[in-house]
Structure 1
Amino acid sequence: MNVGFIGTGTMGSLLIEAFIASGALSPAQIVISNRTFAKAQALADRYSGIRAEKTNAAVACGCEIVFLCIKPHEFKKAVDDLKAIVHPRQIIVSITSPVLIAQLEDELNCKIAKVIPSITNQVSSGATLCIYGERMDETDKAKLEGILAHISEPLRIQESHTRIVSDLSSCGPAFFTFLLEQFIEAATEETGIAREEARKVASAMLLGTGLLLTEGGLTPADVQERVAVPGGITAQALEYLKGETGGMFNQLIRTTHNKYRDDLVKVSASFMSEEVNGQ
C-alpha cells in the first residue's frame, strides 16, 4: 500500500517520521509533495525510498491513502489539483480541523476522512481523532486506523466535537507544558534549584501522573485526594490554585473556539467563492 502526504510542514513531517519509526510504513511506501519542493526533497533525502513529487496530482496517482497536511487557506488549491485525479476507491485524509467533511465530499469523488493528530504521536503515544465521511465503510476505517494504531490510540469522534476534543488532545500538550514551564521557573526563582534539575523532576512527575490517569485507572480527582492530606501542604496549595484559576480554562476554550469559528468562515468562503465564480 502506498500512502501520500501533501504538505511536509510540522505535522506532515511528524506523521511521516512517526509512521516510519513505528514500522507502520516503509519509506518506499511514501510519496510526498510540498509547496516548496526543496523541503519535500530534503525529507526524501533523509529517508531513502521516499519519493518526492513536484505536484500534488502526482502524489495522488497510485496512492490508496493521501493525507492533506496543509493549512486551511491552502485547501482550495489542493482540492483543485486533485479533482481530476482522485477515484472513488481512494481515501483522502484531512488533518485540518476547520475543513469540513461535507466540503471535501462535495468537491472530491472519493472517500473522505479527517484525523487530528497530536505531537504525542511522535513518541507513539496519545490519541488520533478520527472523523469519517459517508463513503467510508468499516473496511476503509479499519485500514486507516490500522496505520494510526502504530503511533497512537485512534478515537472516533463526532465532527461537531472536533474543536473541543482537539483542545484536549492536540493543543493540550502545549497548554500543560506551558503551565509546567511556569512551575519550573517559579521553583528556580524561589529556591535557587538548578533549572535543568527542576525540569527533569517535573517532567518525570508529569509522565508518572499521565500513567496514573491511564494505566493506573485513576481520575484527576482521585490523584488529588490521594496526594492531598487534609490540612497538609498540598491541600493548602490546591485551595490557592482553585482561587487563582477559576474560570481560566473556560476562557481558554472560548478563545480556541472563537478562532475555530473564524477559520470555518474563511474556509467556507473559499469554497463558496469557487462555486460563485464557476456558477
Structure 2
Amino acid sequence: MNKLVGFIGTGSMGQTLVEALIRSKALRPSQILLSNRTRSKAESLAESHPGIRIAENNAELVRKADWVFLCVKPRDYRDVLDEIGGRAGKEQMIISITSPVMIRDLEAALPSKIAKIIPSITHAVLDGTCLFIPGSRLTLRDREELLNLLSAIGTPLEIDERHCRVASDLASCGPAFLARFLEQLARAAGEVTGLPRDTALLLIIRMALGTARMLTEGGFTLESLQERVAVPGGITRKGLDLLERELDPVLIRLFRLTHAKFVEDVEKVRQSLQGAGSKG
C-alpha cells in the first residue's frame, strides 16, 4: 500500500497499532506520520523506528496523510475534531478506534470517509481479531484496502455497530479478563495447596497455550474439549459443575456492567460532539 498513514494519539493502543503494522511489514516507517499531545511520546516511538515522521500538530497531520487513525480517548474527540474538521478531505479516510464514538456522529462532524475499528493488544504478536465497522461513505475499494491492512496484524471481522460493545468485550477486553482469571487460578492454587506461584504460572500459561492450539489446530471445539477431559463422576466434571453454577452469574454481571458503561459513554460523547468539526 502506497499511502501516508497518520496516527493521532500514540498511547497504548496507538503504539501497538504502529508497531504491529511495521513488524508485519504492512507499512514502512516512512509511511507513518504521528501526532501526540505529549510530543515526547511520539518522539520515543519515532526513535525506535527510524523513518517515522512527527507532525507539528493534528491539523498538519490531517493535511498530509491519506488515512488518519484517531487513537484518542472519548473525552478528547471534541478537541481533535475541532482541530481537524476544516482540513479533512472528502477522499480522506478517518478511522476511529474508540468504541463509544459512533460513526454517525463522526460523519456529521467530518466530510471524510469514516470507519471504526476496535483493535486488540494481541496484535502485538500479529494475532487476535480486529473489529471493523464501515461507514456509509466507504467504497468497495476502501473497504478492501483497509481490510487488507488489518489482516496483516490479525483477523479482521466486520460487525454491526450495535454489537460493538459485546464484540469489544470479547476481542479487546477479553485478553485482560482472561489474564485476570488465569492469575486468580494461580493464586487460589497457591493459597489452598502451597504450590509456588512461579510453578503455578508456568503450568497455567503453558496450559493456556496448548488449549488455544487444540481449539485452533487440533480439531476441538470448546464443548468437545470439555467432554474429552471430563469423565462422569470425575474431578474435572465436579469442577466444571462448580464453575457453571458460580461463574455464569459473574459473567452475566460483567456484560451488564460493560454495556451500562458503554451506554453512558456514548451519550457523553454525543453531547460533547454537538457542533464539533466546524472550526478551522
TM (norm. structure 1) is 0.95
User: Post-superposition, which runs of at least 4 consecutive aligned residues in structure 1 deviate over 4 A?
Assistant: none
Matching residue of 1:139: 141
What are the within-5 Å matches in structure 2 for residues 104-143 of structure 1?
A: 104-143=106-145
Give deviations 1:59-85, integer Å, cap 9, x for gaps.
Answer: 112222110000001001111111121
* Corresponding residue number in structure 1 for 2:72: 70
1:97 aligns to what? 99
Q: Which residue, 163, 166, 176 being the options, matches 2:165?
A: 163
Q: Is the 8 A contact 2:96 2:117 kept in 1?
A: yes
Residue identity matched to 2:224: D
Please tell me the residue identity of whatever aligns with 1:135.
R
Q: Which deviates more, 200-209 or 214-223?
A: 214-223
Whichever residue aligns with residue 72 of structure 2, its letter is I
Partner amino acid for 2:166? I
Residue type of the partner of 1:212? M
The Cα shift of 1:120 comes to 0.7
Aligned to 1:260, which of 257, 262, 270?
Answer: 262
Q: SS of the counterpart of 2:133?
A: strand
AA partner of residue 101 (structure 2): V
Please, which runs of 5 or more residues in structure 1 have no aligned partner? none
2:192 maps to 190
What is the CA RMSD across the aligned residues, in angstroms?
A: 1.6
More displaced, 40-49 or 87-96? 40-49
- What residue is the counterpart of 1:7 in the other structure? 9
Once the 2 structures are TM-superposed, how far is the Cα of residue 210 of structure 1 from its aligned partner? 1.8
Secondary structure of 2:203 counterpart? helix
- Residue 57 (structure 1) aligns with: 59
8 Å contact kept, 2:109–2:275: no
Separation in 2, partners of 1:216, 1:134: 40
Q: Return the offset for 1:263.
A: 0.5
Q: Does 1:149 align with 2:142?
A: no
CA contact (8 A) 1:34 1:54 kept: no
Match of 1:46 among 22, 45, 48: 48
2:39 alignment partner AA: F
Distance 1:138 1:206 in 2: 38
- Over 3 Å counting, the alpha-carbon distance change for 1:273 and 1:30 in structure 2 is closer
CA drift of 1:53 comes to 1.6
Note the alpha carbon deviations across 1:92-115, whole angstroms, 9 max, x for none.
Answer: 000000000011111111100000
Question: 1:273 Cα deviation (Å)?
Answer: 6.1
Q: 2 CA distance for matches of 1:49 and 1:77? A: 28
The SS at the match of 1:84 is coil
Q: Which moved more, 1:265-274 or 1:231-240?
A: 265-274
| Cα offset, 1:197, TM superposition | 2.2
Matches within 5 A, 1:239-254: 239-254=241-256
CA positional deviation for 1:272? 2.3
- Asked if the contact 1:4–1:60 (Cα under 8 Å) also holds between the matched residues in 2, the reply is yes
Matched residue, 1:172: 174
Question: Which residue in the other structure is 2:204 paired with?
Answer: 202
Q: Secondary structure at the match of 2:274?
A: helix
C-alpha displacement at 1:119, in angstroms?
A: 0.7
Q: Percent identity?
A: 46
Amino acid at match of 2:155: E
How far, CA to CA, are the matches of 2:218 and 2:107 in structure 1?
Answer: 41
Superposed displacement of residue 219, structure 1: 2.3
Distance across 2 between alignment mates of 1:235 and 1:42: 51
**Structure 2 partner of 1:30:** 32
Measure, in 2, the Cα distance between the counterparts of 1:192 and 1:85. 62
The offset of 1:274, in angstroms, is 5.1
Q: Report if the CA contact (8 A) 2:109-2:276 is conserved.
A: no
